[in-house]
Amino acid sequence: MLYYLVSLVSGFEDTPLRLFNYFTFRAAAALVTATLLGILLGPLTVRLLKKAVAPPRLEGIVAEQFVDHSKDKTPSMGGLLVVASIILATLLWGDLSNRLLLLFLCTLTAFSAIGFIDDFTKIRSKKDGVSAKYKLVCQFAVSLMAILVYSHLTPEIAKSFCQLYVPFIKDPVWTMPYPVAVAFAVFVLVGTSNAVNLTDGKDGLATGCTVWCMMTYALIAYLCTNSIFASHLDLPFIRNGAEIVVFAAAIIGACVGFLWHNCKPASMFMGDTGSLALGGIIGFISILVNQELLLILVGGVFVMEIGSVIIQVSSFKLTGKRVFRCTPIHHHFEQLGWTETQIVTRFWILAGLFALAGAATMKLR
């Protein structure tokens, strides 16, 4: 919005307003704006969500001695603050004529709506939310629509969409048939969305890990939008991707602002409203920069969380035995005696190391 208004000012290129021509400036401004929105609007959000208390999340999942009942009255649906901060900061500093940016905003909103319905159902009924099958169907539907629109958005995207890149290899290893590429991209969106959702089980855990992951993909997106850097690092050049850097910066800022209230003891929980949206967008940005498989490394903590669940379920069905004491894996460490602060801090450290290692692969190719 500000970008558009400034462009209407006669001779703005000869004034300090020319900074609006630089998406890096607007990305930094979006990050700061989203952070401040998260911090300043947090207390109001907590008051508005005072009665939005979901039923105990861990009942029947972990042993009673590991359940912290002091959290039973903590409001959920705090993801509304995260998503609102992202949208407002992006609308303020982004170029709204960019169709790619509008698609990402719509996808974020759609994933958040799925989570909101689930959270609202839990709060209203005081029991489980919508069925897992219903939620998955909605996630697949949103992902499919987003990918179909994305893959036909520009000729450049249509050309690179089917190319599969592998970390440490500079050239694409396979040009996938279009239906395979669509199915793969949908799987990435849905899988990442649910992985972040499973990670959201401790105060600040998913939020902090998302910051690290998004910082890496914001950096990669920046490199891909610069023809010189993209050529030097053998990355796909994204002609219209600069606004996604602004969007990614807004996500980082919104998570930092939310973490102000979500750190232990949390004033509110993110809920599916935020975690499904953040996970879906992380997956979407990885598709944009053709680094989907790198997400296994950059989002290593998320992979650990969803991987532990898959291993646990598969092992129990096949052998009747459990590999972990409890899943997602942060509950396993909790039952080993780690405190919540230890779990969150150590997982943040791991997330940072994974993110740095993922960023390093851009040069080690």
pLDDT tens readout for residues 212-230: 999 999 999 999 999 999 9
Helix, strand, or coil (residue 209)? helix
Q: Is the dihedral of CA 290, 96, 94, 188 positive or negative?
A: negative
Residue 15 falls inside a structural domain: no
Q: Above 90 in pLDDT, residue 132? A: no
Task: Output the pLDDT for position 66.
Answer: 57
Give domain status of residue 38, yes or no: yes
The predicted pLDDT at position 74 comes to 87
Q: How confident is the model at residue 252 (pLDDT cuts 50, 70, 90)?
A: very high
pTM over 0.75: yes
Number of domains forming the structure of the chain: 1
User: pLDDT digits over 295-349, tens only?
Assistant: 999 999 999 999 999 999 999 999 999 999 999 999 999 999 999 999 999 999 9
Domain housing 130: 30-296
Domain for residue 249, yes or no? yes
What phi, psi does 8 have (nearest 5°)?
-80, -15
Domain-located, residue 239: yes
Within 8 A by CB and 6+ apart from 196, the residues are 206, 209, 210, 275, 276, 278, 279, 282, 302
pLDDT score at 347? 98
Query: Which amino acid is present at 72?
Result: D
Task: Tell me what percent of the residues of the chain surpass a pLDDT of 90.
Answer: 73
Q: How many Cα atoms are found within 13 Å in the side-chain-facing hemisphere of 1?
A: 7
Whole-number pLDDT of residue 80? 96
- Decide if 324 is inside a domain: no
What pLDDT does 130 receive? 84
Q: What are 18's two structure tokens? A: 């020319």
Would 345 be classed as within a structural domain? no
pLDDT at res. 294: 97
- Decide: 118 and 127 in contact? Cβ < 8 Å: no
**In which band, very low, low, confident or very high, does the pLDDT at 65 lie, cut at 50, 70 and 90?**
low
Question: Which is higher by pLDDT, 298 or 71?
Answer: 298
pLDDT at residue 3 in the model:
64
Report whether pLDDT(272) > 90. yes
- Average of pLDDT values for 245-254? 98
**pLDDT-derived band at 12, boundaries 50, 70, 90:** low
| 278 vs 264, higher pLDDT | 278
Q: How many residues does the chain have?
A: 365
Neighbours of 84 (CB within 10 A): 17
Band the pLDDT of 170: cuts 50, 70, 90.
confident
Q: What pLDDT does residue 27 have?
A: 97
User: Domain for residue 25, yes or no?
Assistant: no
**362 Cα distance to chain centroid:** 21
The pLDDT of residue 158: 87
* Amino acid occupying residue 161: F
In a domain, 87, yes or no: yes
